[in-house]
Amino acid sequence: MRMLNSIYLSARGVKELFSELVLIDWYDGYTRAIGKVRGIDKWFICNLTYYHINQHRRIFTLIETDEKFVAMVRLKLNDSYDEGRILTPDNVDETIGKCFPDYDQVLREVEKAFREYAGEVYLMNCSNLNDIDYELVEIPLNEMHYFRDIESVLEQDEASSSRWVNLFSPGNGSL
């Protein structure tokens, strides 16, 4: 049985997939984060792959990571500045860059994690990462794509965008 299958089947529509989220980047909602899956002691890097602004629909690529990576991100983004202010959706725009000198390093580490990854890959279709209504599909590793920023997600061509959305059509592999 695949790692997230039983969690998804029991929690969808009832509870969020993630019991904890560590925010990395934000654009009118999460675009990059690390989430601890509810009910199991596993962390996943969540990276925005598709965003439809008018429909409030997001698709994230999820890859597993470890506690060491989570600790590094927390250290770099929450403890690397003077006032000890925590990065939250309410202060992210004013905070990133000024207060987090290691922010670009964290982004490079996320990109490296995607580049070197060799495990199960999931896509999550939702309005936001903390929704209770979401869909998951598993995709082959060689179909995984890493987007560096919101601009590259929004600027992808129609064929790419449609590909991500179509993976959630009935009969196309939803868990």
pLDDT above 50 (res 1): no
pLDDT at position 99: 53
Q: Rounded to the nearest 10 degrees, how much is the dihedral formed by the CA atoms of 158, 159, 160, 165?
A: 90
pLDDT tens digits, 122-167: 999 999 999 888 999 999 999 999 999 999 999 999 999 999 999 9
- Is 38 contained in some domain? yes
- Is 60 contained in some domain? yes
What total number of domains does the chain contain?
A: 1
pLDDT at position 108: 93
Domain with 100, as residue range(s), is: 5-164
Taking the C-alpha atoms of residue 81 and residue 84, their distance in angstroms, rounded to an integer, is 6
- Is 171 contained in some domain? no
- Is 118 contained in some domain? yes
- 107, 73 in Cβ contact below 8 A? no
The encoded tokens of residue 8 equal: 């998804």
